[in-house]
Amino acid sequence: MKKIATLFVVAFSSCANAVWAQCPTSSFFVPNTNTWCPPLIDTFFNTSTNTDSGSTYLYDFGDGASSMMEMPVHIYPSSGIFYPSLIVTNTGGCADTFFFSSPISVGSCWGVGVNNSSINIIQISPTPFTNTINTSVSAADGSADVQVWNLMGQIVFEENEFNISSATKRTLDLSFLNSGVYVVRVVTAEGVFTQKVVKE
């Protein structure tokens, strides 16, 4: 009579309370990793896998703040370099830590509100504004560039090489911009002037 040998294979998991539970793979994505001026507002999109309905999340934003929400929104109120991370733990007790691949950089508004030019008079008004702002430049004959930057360090409006003379005044139509904080930058041969403005 033939004897049949049966081989039992048991798979062990590193999870404390569940033999067959699979450990999660922690990860997240943030759309904004740098900005010229604070604050930086970021949504942390959870992209972790192998999680379950009882999984917990612990975000460390790198600035002393944390969150246990699955997909939090965080505000970085001041300048600095920040290294966020996420710990995901499932109901079996398995945990995985993810460190974001690049730091989040928040600038310090270099040059904002500082006139490092020899321009006699430059005025940008009004602020707050609704649709338009006025730039008034008193300088020698020549040309000037006007740029409007958002807080992500992106140029959202630009007018290059328009002629200027003493007490030149120009009106910029910025009605297409969303409400928020912007930086106006005027560049002439005599120097650069920047000023923060608010659109209502």
- Secondary structure, 3-state, 25-52: ECCEECCCCEECCCCEEEECEECCECCC
Write out pLDDT tens, residues 84-116. 999 999 999 999 999 998 889 887 765 555 455
Is 180 within 8 Å of 150 (Cβ atoms)?
A: yes
Angle at 39 between CA 36 and CA 41, to 5 degrees: 105
Residue type present at position 28: F
Comparing 48 with 197, the larger pLDDT belongs to 48
Tokens, residue 78: 């001041």
Q: What kind of fold does domain 28-106 have according to CATH?
A: Immunoglobulin-like (2.60.40)
pTM of the model as a whole: 0.53
Q: What is the pLDDT of residue 114?
A: 47
Q: How far apart are alpha carbons 93 and 87 in whole angstroms?
A: 12
Q: Do domains 28-106 and 121-199 have the same CATH topology?
A: yes
| 3 contact partners, CB below 8 Å, separation of at least 6 | none
Query: What is the CATH superfamily name and number for domain 121-199?
Result: Macroglobulin (MG2) domain (2.60.40.1930)
Every domain of the chain and the residues it spans: 28-106, 121-199
Contact 188, 137 (CB under 8 A): yes
The closest of 145, 144, 124 to 199, measured between CA atoms, is 124
